[in-house]
Amino acid sequence: MGSSLEELTKTNVLRPAKRLVGEYQAHRLQDEFVVEDHIKILVRSMAKDLERHHDQGHCLAAFDHRNIQINDKGRGKITGVAYIEKSDVDIKNNYLDLHNVVLNTVFRHFSLKEQLPRERRMLLLLMRKECIGKEYLIRNNVALMPIQLRVLFFQTAYEHVMFFLRDDPAKQKRILDRLPYLNNWTDLLRGNTLLEASLAHKSHDKTTAEGFFTYYRDSNSHRLDRCHLLRTVGCYTAKQFEMNLMVGYTLYLAMLEDSLDKEGELEKLEVHVMF
């Protein structure tokens, strides 16, 4: 008999990332699929439940998909597992078990390298290899954010980096210099009418990390400015616009969050209250 987790994840786990609103030509670096929001919520609920156990001062004995109980809201809870003494070794084992549940049950019908979005692969790598000291990053990972929350996260991060860290330019520069697409971000927006129009609307420095960072902010802030105004696009939603950024710059927010974490700034954003 299959587990309730297996039943829940039989279908509607990933969906094709194309065709995006305003897109007339996909670029080669785009992800082919995106994770459905209810799956992100499910995985985060399991990570949060694991955090609850660790915060109570214990770890869990080995668990798998059969130990995940799903409630009527689609949240997962780890049940039927013995408590053991908390240690770094067992924290690692717990996150490895969670990694295996996510990869081998939730995403069992999909190829890790060919179909899972890259930010999702980054999260799985954290679970498998680098969980110690990264627990906050794992359970509040951008890969687990429903698409509307990504806008809130980015705007909060932008304000923190550009204004709060203004008095620490060295740290600000380190955060921005770790971000991807700094040499080809203008190439990657070609083929999408909305992203092209956003670039044409306001001048941005194409040679600096801050220039792309600000372009991303401006595009988000004015994402509905051209709704109904472009004949080739017509009406679209804020969520559809954010999909363009998520798919077109697939690792940007994940690397931003990782960079903030490396500099000890992520928890200051209070990302956990955004969910």
Q: What is the pLDDT of residue 226?
A: 85
Q: Are 65 and 9 in contact (CB under 8 A)?
A: no
Show the DSSP H helices in 30-168 as ranges.
37-55, 88-101, 118-129, 135-139, 147-162
254 Cβ neighbours under 8 A, 6+ residues apart? 118, 119, 122, 123, 141, 142, 143
Q: What is the pLDDT of residue 142?
A: 97
Q: Is the pLDDT of residue 2 over 60?
A: no
Q: What is the pLDDT of residue 26?
A: 81
Q: How far is CA 103 from the centre of its chain?
A: 16
Q: Is the pLDDT of residue 262 over 90?
A: yes
Q: What is the pLDDT of residue 230?
A: 79
99 Cβ neighbours under 8 A, 6+ residues apart? 124, 127, 128
Question: pLDDT grade, residue 1 (50/70/90)?
Answer: very low
The Cβ of residue 145 has, within 10 Å, a number of other Cβ atoms equal to 25
Q: What is the pLDDT of residue 245?
A: 94
Structure tokens, 232: 């080739």
Q: What are 239-248's pLDDT values in tens digits? A: 999 999 999 9
Structure tokens, 267: 């928890």
Q: Is the pLDDT of residue 234 over 60?
A: yes
Top-ranked range on mean pLDDT: pick from 92-96, 204-208, 221-225:
92-96
Q: What are 25-50's pLDDT values in tens digits? A: 887 778 889 999 999 999 999 999 99
Q: What is the pLDDT of residue 202?
A: 86
CA-wise closest residue to 229 among 187, 254, 193:
193
Phi, psi of 15 (to 5 degrees): -140, 155
- Rounded Cα gap, residues 256 and 266, in angstroms: 10
Q: What are 73-102's pLDDT values in tens digits? A: 999 999 999 999 999 999 999 999 999 999
Q: What are 97-118's pLDDT values in tens digits? A: 999 999 999 999 999 999 999 9
In this prediction, residues 177-195 reach a mean pLDDT of: 94
The answer to whether the Cα torsion of 15, 20, 25, 30 is positive or negative is negative
Q: What is the pLDDT of residue 137?
A: 97
- Rounded Cα gap, residues 233 and 179, in angstroms: 30
Percent share of the chain, pLDDT over 90: 85
